[in-house]
């Protein structure tokens, strides 16, 4: 059992803290957002993550986790002084694509000002290579009196919607530090999970995170490029991905063609890696292509809508008089997160063409309503489908996978379905009377 403090109670910090508590540690989570802390103290979650609420409540009841806004409370509890402190604040995208580090700086400064005993400071946020050294300098320069500490990089690899499983059954745990003993102390925390633990230097650990996310993003852009070629040549990308995936060197994961990647990590991390390369005078050509293909994936969906139901207007009114239903607003299923959400981008493009949009998502509507204007947010799937000239399947929620096709057909003005997640079989949809377009499903509809 260790005493752990976690700074930042967002997706990463909250899942990390709760899982460590569940493993028997004593955890205190700090967040600057008072309302969030108050809610968490009462078992109310700030995010939708399957299984999280039950786990938080259970560990609050067992006295293994608590929430505070006070660094002193978290670090210097006399009964349980923290030995290890995780920084898990957000690192949003800055104006030039660089990672924005002001929250990490603020967390490092607060730790330095507050700590009254030796600590291991562990960075979980995705931060540019070299940030560990920078955090170390900040702490050293901010401490009122010198107290020993070490910095360890421990990047997170948690997928939203599957974060608890990803934490509890990691493919690997990466630890980077110039102080082997500090890295070993963090490694102890992960031993019960029985996953491989890799210890390396700070900068290499930070790079492993960026390289991993950039590689996964590259897989997605690769398959989207293949999908585009499939459409022109009449091949089916789903079968192509399955056929490729049997090769162990390739693997089937992250070869789903569709709307491209969204979310709080891939878009920001690929951009930040390219930015780091450019700053060093390198030319990240592959990363640039990955980003361009990703932007195109969203545009191609809108092109399909225009080709099927557009009128002959200029691009500003090509969808004037058309109503389009969008099923799904989150950037993927099982999350209410709409950061860099592809459906939201697509809705904006449709609106710019003059279309009326109505939409439904099982959990992301509240978040989406803050970003969208003039979109009719519907109570359920069929309300979003009713009266539409086309429906776009934009998020792969389970409840969109077995729609009542007869009911859907009757409700729509024209039975056009653009399946941005390749959830349906093209032949079956055709047989059910729909004009159906998936992504890369063997139709010459690329433009």
Applying CB under 6 A, the residues found at the interface with ligand UDX are 7-13, 31-33, 36, 88-91, 103, 106-107, 125-126, 157-160, 213, 216, 220, 254-256, 258, 260-266, 331-332
Active-site residue among 29, 265, 378, 388?
Answer: 265
Q: Is 265 in the active site?
A: yes
Least distance from C-beta 25 to ligand UDX, angstroms?
Answer: 19
Strand arrangement, sheet containing 3-7: 65-68, 26-30, 3-7, 84-87, 119-123, 149-153, 173-177, 197-200
- The DSSP string of 82-143 is -SEEEE-----B-TTSPBP-HHHHHHHHHHHHH--S-EEEEE-S---TTHHHHHHHHHHHH-
Q: Which residue has the tokens 């569709």?
A: 258
Task: Write down the least CB distance from residue 158 to ligand UDX, Å.
Answer: 5
The residues pairing with 175 across neighbouring beta strands, listed in sequence order, are 199
Tokens (6 digits) for 111? 């730790």
Query: Between 119 and 217, whose beta carbon lies closer to ligand UDX?
Result: 217
Closest distance to ligand UDX from the beta carbon of 143 (Å): 18
Kindly tell me which of 160 and 389 has the beta carbon lying closer to ligand UDX.
Answer: 160
In the complex, residue closest to ligand UDX by CB? 10
Output the smallest distance, CB 297 to ligand UDX, in A.
8
Closest approach of Cβ 320 to ligand UDX, in Å? 30
What pairs with residue 357 in β-bridges?
Answer: 324, 375
CA dist., res. 318 & res. 350, Å (int): 9
The answer to whether the CB of 155 falls within 8 A of the CB of 209 is yes
Q: Which of 351, 250, 340 is nearest to 302 (CA)?
A: 351
Q: List, as one string, the DSSP characters of 363-424.
A: S-HHHHHTT-SSEEE-SSHHHHHTT-SEEEE-S--GGGTT--HHHHHHH-SS-EEEETT--S
Cα radius of gyration (the chain): 24
- Kindly tell me which of 85 and 158 has the beta carbon lying closer to ligand UDX: 158
Nearer to ligand UDX, 69 or 179 (CB): 69
156 vs 353 by CB, closer to ligand UDX: 156
Which residues form the catalytic set?
A: 265
């Amino acid at each position: 059992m260790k005493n752990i403090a976690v700074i930042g109670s967002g997706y990463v910090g909250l899942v990390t803290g709760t899982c460590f508590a569940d493993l028997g540690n004593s955890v205190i989570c700090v967040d600057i957002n008072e309302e969030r802390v108050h809610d968490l103290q009462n078992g109310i979650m700030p995010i939708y993550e399957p299984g999280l609420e039950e786990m938080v409540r259970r560990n609050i009841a067992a006295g293994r986790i608590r929430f505070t806004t006070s660094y002193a409370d978290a670090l210097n509890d006399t009964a349980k002084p923290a030995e290890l402190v995780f920084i898990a604040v957000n690192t949003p995208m800055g104006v030039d694509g660089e990672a924005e580090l002001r929250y990490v700086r603020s967390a490092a400064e607060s730790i330095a000002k507050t700590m009254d005993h030796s600590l291991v400071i562990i960075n979980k946020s995705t931060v540019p290579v070299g940030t560990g050294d920078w955090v170390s300098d900040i702490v050293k320069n901010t401490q009122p009196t010198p107290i020993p500490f070490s910095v360890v990089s421990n990047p997170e690899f948690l997928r939203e919607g599957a974060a608890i499983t990803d934490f509890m059954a990691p493919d690997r745990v990466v630890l980077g530090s110039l102080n082997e003993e500090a890295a070993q102390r963090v490694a102890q925390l992960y031993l019960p999970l029985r996953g491989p633990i890799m210890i390396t230097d700070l900068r290499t650990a930070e790079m492993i995170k960026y390289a991993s996310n950039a590689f996964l993003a590259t897989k997605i852009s690769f398959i989207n490029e293949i999908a585009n070629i499939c459409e022109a040549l009449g091949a089916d990308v789903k079968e192509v991905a399955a056929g490729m995936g049997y090769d162990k060197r390739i693997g089937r994961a992250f070869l789903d063609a569709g709307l491209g990647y969204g979310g709080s990590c891939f878009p920001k991390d690929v951009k930040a890696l390219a930015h780091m390369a450019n700053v060093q005078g390198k030319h990240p050509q592959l990363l640039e292509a990955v980003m361009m293909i990703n932007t195109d994936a969203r545009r191609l969906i809108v092109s399909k809508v225009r080709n099927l139901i557009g009128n002959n207007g200029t691009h500003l009114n090509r969808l004037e008089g058309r109503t389009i239903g969008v099923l799904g607003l989150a950037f993927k299923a099982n999350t209410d997160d709409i950061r860099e959400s592809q459906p939201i981008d697509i809705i904006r493009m449709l609106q710019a063409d003059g279309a009326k949009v109505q939409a439904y998502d099982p959990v992301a509507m509240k978040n989406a309503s803050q970003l969208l204007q003039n979109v009719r947010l519907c109570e359920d799937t069929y309300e979003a489908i009713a009266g539409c000239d086309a429906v776009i399947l934009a998020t792969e929620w389970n409840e969109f996978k077995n729609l009542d096709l007869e009911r859907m057909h009757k409700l729509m003005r024209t039975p056009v379905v653009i399946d941005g997640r390749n959830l349906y079989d093209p032949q079956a949809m055709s047989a059910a009377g729909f004009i159906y377009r998936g992504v890369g499903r063997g139709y010459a509809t690329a433009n």
